[in-house]
Amino acid sequence: MKLFSYTVFGAAAATLMSAGAAISDTTLTLNSWLPPSHPYMTGVIEPLVADIETATEGRITVNILPAPLGPPPATFDLVKNGVVDIGYSVQGYSPGRFKTSALAEMPFLGEDAISTSVAYQRVHDAMLADAGEYQGVKVLAVHTHGPGRIYSTEQIASLDDLSGQKLRTGSVVAHDLAQSLGAVPVEGPSSKSYELLSQKVVDGIMFPAESVQFFRLGDLLSTAFVAEGGIYNTAFMVVMNENKWNQIPEADQALIEPLLGEALARRAGEMWNEADAAGNEALSATLTTYQASAEEIAALKERVQPVVEANVALASEAGVDGQAAYDMLLAEIEKLSAQ
């Protein structure tokens, strides 16, 4: 009888312990709006998900939802309101909401996405986070893509050939930069780029090389207009619901933290560098590349300076020293590029 009682008690205790372990495990939901085959998914998000599970020995897992619960601009609120736990998006998709991110979208930041991404993360941590634009979420990382270019269905043989061209743009900053170049900006999501070009709604697009290749636009285009350092850039964010983060045991938070911030920004930069290189190689066979001369870049910088100044002032409106933050961004990019 005693043996039977002990066995029953032991089995019950084991069941309770097992249930307790299951309860302590956490599955997070991640909202994704890019196709699963996109390099951002295969090179950034999926590896992050795998690393979180490995670091926490399976106690924290992340379920990437099979379909988005809203368009990209809705991502931040989906995360903040706890509809999903994690999401990624482009701050520029929500005009006026994220004023500080415009600093990372300025022209001529650099050719290396690792340098621009890590520099942006450092400036965010040091200065931009003080603006309080991300209340309600934990910022897992901010980063950029690679240098933005202009791809056109028209031949470009000089800077003046950009004048009057209708260009698809994806953010307020890109819109303003296109205008400063004499082009006519046309707003539209990246997923509609093929449609816009094929139906001749636009003459060209502002994109990094990766996106031209991924969306299979090469057969519609004839010229790539390239300026060293990039004609524009795009800021990204990866965020998590703050309350959900706080519910994760501190021991597991400590294991996840090294995967975030600069580490995640660097991973994103590495992905963009690799994807842009592949895109450039593929497109070089079909597109004519017009490389802006030093004199033309000087003229471009003069034209876009009002846009730079306006966005530095915009960052200051958010409650930070916009000029100091922009200067730090450029200094960090230079330092990282030298390394």
Q: What are the boundaries of each domain within the chain?
A: 26-98+110-144+234-275, 149-232+278-338
Q: Which CATH number fits domain 149-232+278-338: 3.40.50.11270, 3.40.190.170, 1.10.10.10, 3.90.420.10?
A: 3.40.190.170
Contact present, 234 and 143 (Cβ < 8 Å):
no
How much is the pTM? 0.91
Rounded Cα–Cα distance for residues 215 and 282 (Å): 13
pLDDT digits (tens, 9 = 90+) for 188-243: 888 889 999 999 999 999 999 999 999 999 999 999 999 999 999 999 999 999 99
Q: What pLDDT score does 107 carry?
A: 97
C-beta of residue 103 within 8 angstroms of C-beta of residue 325: yes
**Terminal CA-to-CA distance of the chain, rounded, Å?**
73
What is the torsion angle, in degrees rounded to the nearest 10, for the CA atoms of residue 122, residue 127, residue 133 and residue 137?
50
- Smallest CA-to-CA distance from 170 within 103, 267, 235 is with 235
CB 104 within 8 Å of CB 145: no
Which residues, given as ranges, of the chain have pLDDT below 70? Answer: 1-24
Tokens 């890109």 found at? 174
d(CA 170, CA 167): 10
d(CA 313, CA 324): 11
| pLDDT for the residue numbered 13 | 39
Question: CA–CA separation, 203 vs 261, rounded Å?
Answer: 38
Q: What is the pLDDT of residue 15?
A: 38
Asked, colleague to colleague, whether 26-98+110-144+234-275 and 149-232+278-338 share their fold, the answer is yes
- State the architecture of 26-98+110-144+234-275 in CATH terms: 3-Layer(aba) Sandwich (3.40)
